[in-house]
Amino acid sequence: MRDKLLALAALQKVDLDIAALQKNAEAYPREIAELEKQLAQARAAVDAERTRLEELDKQKVNLEHTITDDKDKVRKWEARLTEQRSTREYSALAREIDIAKKGQQTMAEEVVELGKQATLQREAVKQKDADFQVKAKDLVEKVDQLKGKLKDVQAQIAGIDGARTEAAKQVDSGLLKRYDTIRKKRLPALVAAVAPGTCTGCRMNIRPQLYNQLVASRGLDVCPSCSRMVYAAEALEAATPK
């Protein structure tokens, strides 16, 4: 019985290794996704600053076009000014021209202001882009590292399958069946009980009779509390050859 128990314990060791590897295999993609999200957010922040700059530049160009068009219009009005017969018509047009020119002056001041804002914004974009490049480099490196680790873990999982098959072959088929059924619900499925009768799987006490029986038989039973396969640690240790 003790050999059967040892074979089962050996199999469980492989299963615990596989479980640990799988935990990493599931954690790495989550970490990678989180870093990629941070990268996308940082990129979006720089893009938003760049869009703001483009808007300022566009506003400035539009305003400059408006001024040019307005100047053409005023030039035509000025040409018509000499053709005005009555004083009233003359002064009305002259006033329109005056108002238009004042408007142009205001727009020209806005162009200057937009130019200043654009210059500041261009500096901000440059700075933020430089910061982003540093951050992006760091994030990309971390993502690459995690991807490497994930690949390693996946290779290890693939490699360990063979070891699992080998270890399972050594286990008594009836025990294997019971073990596999429990393992799907809770791992470890095989746990030790320690004197005077505590299951190390669930920390609950087991009946003294059951414990004594496990020690005497060096066998297996089921923990009444957690339904795991349980053996007496001292029975296994006492019989371990030096």
Q: What is the DSSP letter of 170?
A: T
Cβ closest to Zn ion, residue 27 vs residue 202 = 202
DSSP 57-96: HHHHHHHHHHHHHHHHHHHHHHHHHTT--SHHHHHHHHHH
- Contact characters 141-180, Zn ion, x per CB under 5 A: ----------------------------------------
Q: What is the strand order of the sheet 198-199 is part of?
A: 198-199, 190-194, 229-232, 221-222
Q: Which is nearer to Zn ion, 143 or 182 (CB)?
A: 182
Q: How far is the CB of 223 from Zn ion (least distance, A)?
A: 3
Backbone φ and ψ for 147, nearest 5 degrees, come out as -65, -40
Per-residue tokens: 201: 């799987």
To Zn ion, the closest distance from the beta carbon of 46 in angstroms equals 56
Shortest distance, position 178 Cβ to Zn ion, whole Å? 15
- Dihedral angle, C-alpha 136, 137, 142, 143, nearest 10 °: 60
**Identity of the residue, 84 or 205, whose beta carbon is nearer to Zn ion in the bound complex:** 205
CB of 188 to Zn ion, least distance (A): 11
Name which of residues 204 to 233 contact Zn ion (CB under 5 A). Answer: 223, 225-226
Q: Residue 165 or 181: which CB sits closer to Zn ion?
A: 181
Residues 187-206 that bind Zn ion (CB under 5 A): 199, 201-202
Asked whether the beta carbons of 77 and 98 are under 8 A apart, the reply is: no
The residue ranges that bind Zn ion (CB under 5 A) are 199, 201-202, 223, 225-226
